[in-house]
Amino acid sequence: MEGCTVTCSAKSPKSCSIVPPYLLARIAENPDRLAAAADAARRTLLEQRAVEENRKERRTAPAPGPGTALTPKLRRTVFDAGQKQELPGVPVRTEGAPPTSDPAVDEAYDGLGATYALFSDAYGRSSVDGAGRPLHATVHYGRDYDNAFWDGNQMVLGDGDGEVFQRFSKSLTVIGHELTHGVIQYTARLVYQDQAGALNESISDVFGALVEQKLLGQSVSEASWLIGEGLFTAEVNGRGLRSMSAPGTAYDDDVLGKDPQPADMSDYVQTSADNGGVHLNSGIPNRAFYLAASRLGGYAWERAGQIWYDTITEPNFPADCTFSVFAAATVTSAEKRYGASGAESSAVQAAWKEVNVMV
């Protein structure tokens, strides 16, 4: 497990995985219905706990300041773990190399490029660190591994169990989500606990969705606003892992249960599980972003995405940020860039009010 050190922020390293532990636990409890999936879910949960127990804290360098020479060049490497849990694995495709015969490799390679393109084209950011850091991804991690995660250095993608989950490289929102954890690591550095952790998850969902929307050229009204769309097999009654437009509606399945995400603060979940409900309560700021983007219209990565990006890159941003502090910060960011009387500020305030974070 030496190669599996996992962190999500310099202050409180945690395993930043796309599939919540409560969903894996639900699958693991149903061996009579889906034996292979239950076994895979149990092994995935155990592996994640081992990662937590054996992790070493990573200290990230500060984001480059004024005058820092950037290297605005995309540099990708995709590795194959060969179904082992050792990172990074064998390099199988590097920058500029032609496609392979392995769809997981090529999906990961393309996803790295699409994520780099969003941050570079829309926000002028070179890679996750803002200084052109090479982007690495490992595919075929573990045997039937039911997750994807950011480990503080790179993205890791499992193949899924084939009964509930397909390979995680199939979803561009998953790839964009995990790489955004890397961006947060070098910007807001949000701790992975309670509301700050839910914001960490939500911001990763936001930019994961925007990666896909920008690549497809989708407007706010054209986008699905689903995270992990296409991950479930045909056996599952679900559209994706999470819905940003309507939290709590992504799936409703006899094995998985009903999507438990709340859509506003009136249903906020108080729990000690999942680092204080980081995958649950992220639905609240997710919906706030969707509502703000919908009010502004057009392409969400432009004004709404710019406001969220400005917020997380603000110097001295509090790593233990709460929903209310983040909401106020997004309003301030909107006013700084677009003016206090602009439609942008009004849209952001109205969105946070609708989810009962602002009064």
Residues recognised as catalytic: 178, 279
Nearest to 211 by CA among 135, 151, 282, 158: 135
- Residue 150, H or E segment: strand 148-150
* Residue corresponding to tokens 């706030």: 288
CA separation for the pair 161, 340 (Å, rounded)? 50
Nearest to 164 by CA among 238, 75, 233: 233
CA separation for the pair 236, 250 (Å, rounded)? 11
- Residue 77, H or E segment: strand 76-80
Provide φ and ψ at 196, rounded to 5°.
-65, -40
How far is the CA of 203 from the CAs of 65, 326, 355, in angstroms? Answer: 22, 11, 16
Provide φ and ψ at 93, rounded to 5°.
-155, 125
Q: What is the number of other CB atoms lying within 10 angstroms of the CB of residue 316?
A: 5
Provide φ and ψ at 9, rounded to 5°.
-155, 155
